[in-house]
Structures are given as C-alpha cells and as structure tokens.
Structure 1
Amino acid sequence: MKKLIMGSLLLLLLLTMTGCRSGENGEVYVYSYGDYYDPEVVADFEADTGIRVIQDTYDTAEEMYPIIKNGSANYDVVCTSDYMISKMKGENLLQKLDKKNIRNIKNLDEDYMRKAEEYDPGNEYSVPYLVGVSGILYNKKMVKGKKIDSWNALWDPDFKNNIVMQDSVRDAFAISLLRLGYSPNTTNPKEIEEAKNALKEQKKLVYKYANDSARDLLADKSAAIGVVWNGEYNYTHDLNKDIEFVVPKEGSEFFIDSWVVPKSARNKRNAERFINYMCKAKVAKRNFDYLYYTTPNTAAIKMIPSKYVSNPALFPSKETIARCTLLRNLDPDTTKLYGDSWKEVKSK
C-alpha cells in the first residue's frame, strides 16, 4: 500500500508497440506501487523461469483503479491495497487464484492471512505481500522533550510550521477520525464533518502535505514531526539518529498490500508463478532488506537479523496491530463525501 514513488509510464507505450520480445516461456505484465521490490529479484525470476517481466508502476491505488476498470492496459498481476482489493473484487475485476500454483503461500503468517480475510474472505483473490502501520515520525530534539504518543501532537500549536501531514484523503481523515474517537471507516456524515473541521483547523499548523517526501523532510530537519508508514523509519533513522517512530495510543491505520490477478489478465499462469516466487522465503527476505517494510512471510523472518525483528517500528507487536484498523471500501456516496470534504480542507 504503500511507498508512493513516481511511476513510469513506459509500459503504456510498450503495450502499443508490436514485435515486443517475449521470454522463452512468455511474459508477465506487473503493475505495482513504485520501487516496491528489489529489482534484482525480477532479474532472478526471469533467469529462473524464462518468463520476461514487463513492469509499470503507479502512485496511488486510486490512480491504478481506472486503468484496470477501463481496460486501458492489460496487466497480469497487480500489487495493491486491502480496501482497493475489496472494491475491485466487488466489481468483478479480479480472478480467483489457483493456490496449487502458489504453494509458497504456506510461508505466510496465519494471523495476517486471517486479517486479510476482512477484505478477501477465504483468501481466494489475493496473496499478502507487505504489511504495515501508519504512525508519527518525530525528531526527539526538535519536539523539545514533549511526549509524543497521540495524534493530538499533530494539532499542537507548539509545532506550527513543523508538521508534515499525509496528502491523501482516506489517510488524513483516518488520523482525524481516530483522534476524535471515531472509526476511520465511518459513514456517519456528522463524524466526517467533525473530522473535516478538525483538519481545517490543523491546516494553519501544517508545514507541508506530503507522502513520499515526508521522511526526507524529517531526516533533514525541515520539520519536527510527521506521518509516515513504519517501513520508512529505518531509512530515516539511518540518516538522522534523533528520529523516533510511534504508533499513537488512539490506534492507527493498518495496511496489507497484496498481489492480485485482474480479470483481463492474459498470462494468469505466469502471474501465479510470479506471486509464488515472491512468496519464497529468500526472496521475501531480500525484499525486506531492500524496503524495510514488514513482511508477513514467517519463513523469511527467520532469516532476518534479530535487531530488525525485535524493533517494534519495523515489526509491530500483535498488541499494536490489534488496536489498528484496515481501511474498508466505502459506498459511492460516502466516498464522494470524503473526497469533497478533503477538497474543502485543501482549498481553504
């Protein structure tokens, strides 16, 4: 769900070209969040299987959705987020997976597989790839001794022009709603209105709304406090040892990004081989080493040094995850209400 690095449009051009070279065992078209796995893993997959991988990336699930919905391009395997998988499944945009072709799914943590059933009952359409939680990244020196353990810190006037807030409608509203004691999946217009007004009030304190760049703004001391996904902690802490990460006591947003196969896929068997490869323990470990996002692959975790596995920023405890919530796909009217409310926040 979650590293949002600017994707290339190269594949959209490739798909319009003729005479593209195929691997000896065909190809597989992969569509995922940008920079979301070790590039060498793809090269090794090609060498091991003879399947050529054609890759394309996107920034947000909302950007990916109309591409699949409208058939603008044909992809065989997509990595996307929990709530979007629910939406796509409900609109008959996904194929059921043949688990006989994804035997390495046995490596995945049963707890995460059960949690994934919240958006994919029976785990029929998706295979978890990465998981994580949203939290507060802060510079312990710049916050001058204040205890940071609540979303209220993002409304603290002492941090005016030092706050980086997520630039995403559902993520921003999740923070505001949780702070107010509401569900981040609420469909109650009054609760959404209250959360909107709180975000409008917060705006005068915000230095910048950002997604990817939030970690860099904290690392170089452009800001004192901000919102990131836990996978960004290690990178930022390596650059600035004063950086700490906390999941607020009110709870937070939890995500599971998973592999799915669109209904329009032309190479389903190769897609399942790609997913199976990504579930290999050694491959999952390499992807962790590349990203430092939490892997749900228990076989891979056994290979990861304990200094990482024991770090609650990188591998949140079950108690932490228990107070976090997956975003759900919402009905069209509520989705529009959130979107209109976010536009109002950003425009004032």
Structure 2
Amino acid sequence: MPYALGVDIGESFTSAAVCRRDGSAWTGPLTVRLGARSPSAASLIELSPTGALHTGDGVRADEAAGTGRILRGFVRRIGDDVPMVVDGRSYRPQDLLAALVRLVVDRLREQEGEACEQVALTHPAGWGPHRLGALFEALREIGLDDVVLLPGPAAAAEACAASAALLAGCDLGGSACTTFLVRRPARGPVEVLAHEEHAVGGADLDDALVAHVRAAIGRAVSEPPPDADSGPVAVLLRRDCTGARERLSEQDEAEVPLPWWAPDAGRALPVTRAELSAMARPILRGTVESLVRLVEEGEQEPAAVLLVGGAAATPLVAEMITERLALPILRDDEPQSTAARGAALVARRASMHRVGS
C-alpha cells in the first residue's frame, strides 16, 4: 500500500510514522516500530569494521559493550566545518544525519514492501539557510532529493488534534528541550513564532535517579568497585533507572534492581513518584520559566500548552506548568512520536499535492 513517511531524529531517539494510501483515501498518521522493544530507536550510528553504518537496538547493545565505534550527537552539529572522527574515519555531521534518514527509509521499505511516496523530516527550530542547505545537499548525495524539511515544533503542532490557532509547547526529549509558540493558520504551514532551546532532558532525570540509588547503596558500602561509575555495570544501572523513571509516569512507585556490588544485590530499591518529583523539580525549573516567559511576551495568549517528547510524560512537567500558567494542557498518548506523526501529515499533504498537480 503506498505511504508517506515522517521522520523525527532527536538528539537521543529517532521516531517514524506513516500515512497510508488506499486508492484516493489516506489514513491518519500511524507510528511505526523502529526498535525491537519500543517504537523509537536510539539516535546512534555504529561504524562496522568494514566502514558500513548501522543503527537500531543492536547499536545500543554494542554501546554497553564499549566497542568505541559509536557515533552520536551529530544532529546539533549540522553545518559544522569540523568533521566527526571515529575509528580513524572522518564524517561530516550532515552526512551522518542523512545516513540515519536513509537507514530509516530503507527499513520502512522492507517493512512495507515498497518505497514511500514522500519523506518529511523534522529539524531543530531556528535552523537557518546554512544548516538547511548542508542537510539538503547531504540528502541529495544519497538519493533523497525530495525531502520536505520542517521545524520540530511545527511538526508537533501539525499532529495536534485541537483546533486552536495559537499554541504554546514544551518538547522534552532525552537530552534536550525546546519551548515554543506556534501559530496554526487555516491554510498553509504552521509558523514558529518563538522558541528557546535548553540542554535539559530525560537523561538529566535519569542522572538524578542514578545518584539517588548510588547514595542509598553508598551508605552501606565503604569502597565501591572501580567500574561502579563506568562500563557495563554502570550502563545497566542507568538503564534500570530510566525504566523506573518511565514507569513512574504511570504509577506511584517503581523498583530499581540493585547492582551486584550492593550489599542487597539481587533485591530492588523502591522509588516513589514523590521522590522523583523532588529530584526533578530543580532540573525542570528553568524550562518551565522559559515557557512562561514566551507566553507572557507573546502578543496573544495561547489556547493551550502542548506537551511532546518522551520525557514530557513525567507528571511533574504538567504540574509545574499549571502552577504558573492558567492554560489547558494537551497531552499526547504517544509523546515520543508526536513530531514524527506531524511530519507524516506534512509528507501526506505534499504527496497529495504532487499527485493532484
């Protein structure tokens, strides 16, 4: 079945969604699975010994094993003249981002049994002609010469079912946050009126939870082993803390399995939502203040606040916003893929326009 593809590549995770066409009728956007255990895949690329690039859950496993051939953090470096070097090979950041898009496009072609009719890709708000041009060139070089690019906040607003013309929003991802104001006209693309970027995300909440667990263990351990802060043991503890933080979005208490070197190894440390909120509040305060500032400096009051990004599912985010702003909160059932679904709608519109022209 023909389809249009939306791709959202964030600093930490990559998501994708499709709109399928049955004759002249199109479906709404549907999230597609990129990972084995979750819809999203880590925004990591592994360089194989032969120089081939790979992504997916296997890359994450190799990261824990410490192969030293993992490429990350290239999204924010698009247009940078300094190449990224790994295992003796140099790569332009835009080539890595384009390669990740190509890998997603190829995976969807395998899953769907045919190539997509149109691709739309999100990018950070505020990118100018230099970065966009560098990305366009890199995409063309690998055979993707008709990709629609749109800012992440605009894609998130496209996916929002509310009819509000003016929205505020907070996109809280794994390692970055964007607060924004967008206008949704009756016709034409969504306009990003204002935005601010922050180096705060779910990873910072995970750091706080790891420190909390380490402190609880430390009270009973006089001398932790050398690899307590690095290597596979530390990676596993962090993953367990990430899982507990995500479960606390849905329940009042979660458990973190204790590492082998803890006195109570084999047991788990209970953590409550209230404890996590106490750790997270000072971390999130700056982003909430940024959102409040954008709303107060705007010419009109927005109709609602849209929460997107995987970490935005943390209940404290909405709680802190409502403490400062008397605005409805719009929550997405799948906040990690909101922008990808909005991009799929834009890709669908572009495909319909091309067919109709």
TM normalised by structure 2 equals 0.24
More strand by share: 2
Which entry has the higher C-alpha Rg, 1 or 2?
Answer: 2
TM normalised by structure 1 equals 0.25
